[in-house]
Amino acid sequence: MIFTATLLTSCVKFLLIPAYRSTDFEVHRNWLAITHSLPINKWYFENTSQWTLDYPPLFAWFEYVLSVFARFFDPKMLIINHINYSSDQTVLFQRLSVILTDLVYAFGIYKCCSALQNGWRKDVVLPILLVTNCGLLMLDHIHFQYNGIMYGILLISIAYMLQGKHLLSAFWFTVLINMKHIYIYLGPPYFIYLLRHYCLKGPLTIKNIGTKETLKRVFCLASLVLSVFVVTFLPFIDHIPQVLSRLFPFKRGLCHAYWAPNFWAIYNTVDKILLITGKGLGVKFANSSIAAMTGGLVQEFSHSVLPSISPLVTLLLTALFMIPAMVKLFFLNKQPSNFIRCMVVCGLTSFLFGWHVHEKAILMTIIPLSILSITRLTDARIFLILSTVGHYSLFPLLFPPSLLPVKVLLHLLYSLYAFHSLYKTYPLSICSYTLPLLNPLESLYILGLGIVFIYENVIHSLLGLKDQLPFLPLIFTSVYCSVGIMYSWIIYYIYFLKYNGVHVRTKTNKTNKVE
């Protein structure tokens, strides 16, 4: 099934080669040029283009490897001064590179499915849910990025964790962080789970903690992780501060250009409503002239009424909300499904409260949750809400009108399959007059996305607001989707904290029943 689904999905990807491309296409073309044309000691200093190299060194090496083959398609794409260069050969090469590297994603799916013992669920339902993920299709094969290879590495790491191969899991996750540092948000569950179930095996006693075996495991794990970082950063040892300044540009502001559907989208909207209300009442505010955040397109702004948010505040909030999940994971049994659930909770927490969060980061929770959706009803229910809303929230990234039928069709087909397949998985959980697995309120909310879509694409223009309030549909979409994602986070967090750690059947746990 994985091979068939991958083959058919690849056919769709080939059809999307001439589709719209975002500025990320130029970003990666420029990185090809940088890594191919310059010595490594200049990679993180080059700034001819505004799209400077700001991924960790392993991804820079990945771009370098691609550039070796790129010169056979069109060597002109590897010239740094060729800003916005996009010949047909360049487009073909970059599109093909994404399609081919998606094989890593397919391999990760194979590894995860092989680690599970869930019968037809893992043989049919899970592979299709993962292979045909419409968010990846929209982001990588239309918008243009290399998320597929990243999530492939993540799935490989998760698969090894499911098999109880802790060091291999830690190795691949460390490789992932050194390719794209945003995945560090998933680091706390790895740290806690490996600490408790690899380093501190057995009962938590002073005698057990201080054994030579425990110290040996700590040393092995720490050495493995540090080795990957050393190998990655050693060639850049003479300018590490410059590399880090590119990786963590805190001046980019609280929100991304299009507000990710998180807590800060609601916060920004409330601030704007209070400003408008206050002006109507004759109240003057110190920052009332700052209107940048109303459009969501300027990266830095100050709030007008509510307190402005700093990177430290977002870090503290994220850490604070992660702590209960970390404590729970530490004391749960060693079943890897507990680790994946905590990963989803932490991924959602960082998405909701992090600094300058990209809307694409919602896939960090949807993809791991896909694995759990075939194990328990609550996981499936939250997956349906989160995937439907999260994928819809990506629509504004594909803004050309010509893409409207494409993104709607991709989203509808994926959502229909998800609801149908999980309906077959949990047939006794269906309520009358609601969407499968969802309660009436959740069903009403999901159906409300249709109203959001009609307003954004029809009503807003009919009301003559397209020129006066061009960004209102974006704000409307972001806030509406943030409500659903906040709801999913709260429900799933409570579920995880109450969870008793019932076993999921894996190949290392063949005698336990599926949850």
Give the DSSP per-residue string, 185-199. Answer: GGHHHHHHHHIIIII
Please identify every stretch of the chain with a pLDDT value under 70, giving residue numbers as ranges. 118, 205-208, 210, 257, 286-301, 429-433, 501-515
CB contact at 8 A, 505 and 514: yes
CB contact at 8 A, 345 and 325: yes
Residue for token pair 């300018």: 239
* Predicted local distance difference test score (pLDDT) of residue 236: 95
In this structure, the dihedral spanned by the alpha carbons of residues 313, 315, 317 and 322, taken in order and rounded to 10 degrees, is -170
The Cα 183–Cα 367 span in angstroms is 13
For residue 267, what are its two tokens? 């916060």
DSSP conformational letter for 425:
H
φ, ψ (nearest 5 deg) of residue 226? -65, -35
Of 154, 182, 494, the C-alpha closest to 325 is 494
Query: 135-170 burial string, b = 16+ CB within 10 Å, else e?
Result: bbbbbbbbbbbbbbbbbbbbbbbbbbbbbbbbebbb
* Predicted local distance difference test score (pLDDT) of residue 214: 86
* Predicted local distance difference test score (pLDDT) of residue 275: 86
CB contact at 8 A, 345 and 240: no
Angle at 184 between CA 301 and CA 22, to 5 degrees: 55
The Cα 209–Cα 165 span in angstroms is 21
Q: Phi-psi category of 52—alpha, beta or left, where left has phi over 0 and alpha has psi -120 to 50? A: beta
φ, ψ (nearest 5 deg) of residue 243? -60, -45
* Predicted local distance difference test score (pLDDT) of residue 512: 35
**Three-state DSSP class for residue 509:** strand
Q: Maximum CA pair distance of the chain?
A: 73
DSSP conformational letter for 229:
H
In this structure, the dihedral spanned by the alpha carbons of residues 110, 115, 120 and 121, taken in order and rounded to 10 degrees, is -90
φ, ψ (nearest 5 deg) of residue 237? -60, -30
Over residues 131-149, the pLDDT tens digits come to: 999 999 999 999 999 999 9
Q: Where are the domains of the chain?
A: 2-21+86-235+313-498, 257-309
For residue 161, what are its two tokens? 């964790």
Task: Give the other-Cβ count within 10 Å of 279's Cβ.
Answer: 13
The Cα 384–Cα 363 span in angstroms is 13
The Cα 102–Cα 122 span in angstroms is 20
CB contact at 8 A, 389 and 449: yes
